[in-house]
Structure 1
Amino acid sequence: MISILKMKSICFIISLIPLALGAFVWGKDGWRLAFWQTSVAKEMEVPIVEGMPELGTQTQVVWQEQFISGIESPLIGLVLSLILSLTFILLLRKKNDSSV
């Protein structure tokens, strides 16, 4: 039978998984303190007269569909981790009370 201490440590590690995944997704896209984005602006320099860039260029903005995670990802992971932790704490207390 698994001891209470081992069970507590296993529950603690399991409850940290959503937080770690949220931080990983957030870090993969860059540690931006902004909200999620579903499109990204790419700026391109286009000559005013085609074939003659020496006459000047203008900036053309092209939008690309791309998901970039923001600060919500680790926050959602934190909330899920807290919910899991509280659930495990309540279950372990209930199990302790019934075994005494």
Structure 2
Amino acid sequence: MGLLDINCAALDQLAADCQSLGVQIGAASIVEPVAAGWWATAVAVSAANADITLAAQVMAARMYQTAAGLVTVSRQFTATDKLSAAYLRALVTEV
């Protein structure tokens, strides 16, 4: 897997869209850049609207830089998550 870059504009749009749909962002944090300049970002989304079939807490995207300098991405979401696939593809882009 190649290096990955976080699409910050898409991350901001995710937060805005979730708010407009009545879904609250449970945790959204962007940590300090790691040595190579990559960001580690974790976004947890929790459902606040019965119309949005999100799991109680869905990990939207998590990006880690390993000691070897390679970046891996772990994505977990439920089959009923209406927001998952398109947003996750937009959030994390292989470069």
- Band the TM-score falls in, shorter-chain normalisation: under 0.3
Larger-Rg structure: 1
Q: Which has the higher helix share?
A: 1
Q: Which has the higher contact order (CA 8 A, sep 6+)?
A: 1
The two structures have a TM-score, normalised by structure 1, of 0.25
